[in-house]
Chain A
């Protein structure tokens, strides 16, 4: 089965990245063979909608499960439409997480666990809305 894990870097021994849409890497793992492909996230610096685009990428690559730290409402809507199961609150090395997944340690989330723009850093302080291109 093909799953995707958000990661801080490009190997299975790297940590799971908490942010979904703006994770530095996605690791696409075949759970039967443990073969994987690391893909640099093209949406890291997107002005907005990073979660949507990244979720579209998961769908285009035929992923069945996504393992990550947090998932916001926009990405969640795409996952629902694509029939992709999202598992949130995951941490540790990607390799360990895959093992846990194979052992059936996780249940898929039925709703987003954070609000939109949660992973954009620094909270939404004064000026947050003013520096972006809109």
Chain B
């Protein structure tokens, strides 16, 4: 089972849930791996304190002009969707940090005047913590191409019983890259107008991906009832509610795992997992149903 933990709004508790769920499931004897795909601001390691055993660079391909072949025609600048190329007085200027490695310049160049060279934009670190496998990615400062680093993190992941992906917040390309091939998505929110607004965006995104999902409400006893009402109206299951517990905030402020500081939360995360696996199985059965019907 590949579970992605995402949220429209930042700071709702994705990492808290991802790390505590991962260790809870490992404590029960599962082989668990956690991939921190928030490569712009990874923070699972603060709580897991993993021993890093392997570090590898992430590179992307950027174009390089073969000047003896270039006629300065400007086709490359015209086809670049990302404004990463300018052709001035017959000279091609490339702006590597804007390049999305799409390859259009190389493909469309009538003179075959491009070669591609690697450029390092980040790194992947792998290790272990509390009995789980751990991978995270680090996008270098000033770089924009986080999806490439996220792909690197996911490639470094193995094939455990349970794979948990901690996604970046929002609904943009890096999030899609992190969650698109998940078996199930848990959307974390909080019971506030901001939480609801961004949850609605996230639900729209996840429905587009056709991945079964459920909602977790953090600090569920503050704010208002609108998130719950929305979920009821939309037929979305709320599989986890974490109260606004001062002890959690204290553990968090010290970089401690909730389940280590307050062991009673083991049960909370375990119950959430059971509900998600049930929903996942139901979703799979529902998907198979029409095929059975056509056979008849």
Residues of A within 8 A of B (CB): 43, 46-50, 52-53, 55-56, 59, 74, 77-78, 81-83, 126-127, 129-134
Contacts and interface: CB of A to CB of B under 8 A. Distances in A.
B83 A82 contact: no
A132 B10 contact: no
Range, interface on chain B: 20 to 34
A81 B10 contact: no
Contact of A49 (B10, B40, B84, B173): B84
B144 A129 contact: yes
A49 B80 CA distance: 11
Given A52-B98, A129-B40, A131-B170, A77 B83 contact: no
A40 B87 CA distance: 21
B93 A81 contact: yes
B172 A50 contact: no
Given A56-B77, A81-B88, A134 B93 contact: no
A35 to B, nearest CB: 26
Interface string B166-185: 00111011100000000000
B10 A127 contact: yes
A134 B146 contact: yes
A54 to B, nearest CB: 10
Nearest to B83: A49
B89 interface: yes
Contacts of A126: 10
Contacts of A127: 10, 169-170
B174 A130 contact: yes
Contacts of B77: 56
Nearest to B145: A134
B83 A134 contact: no
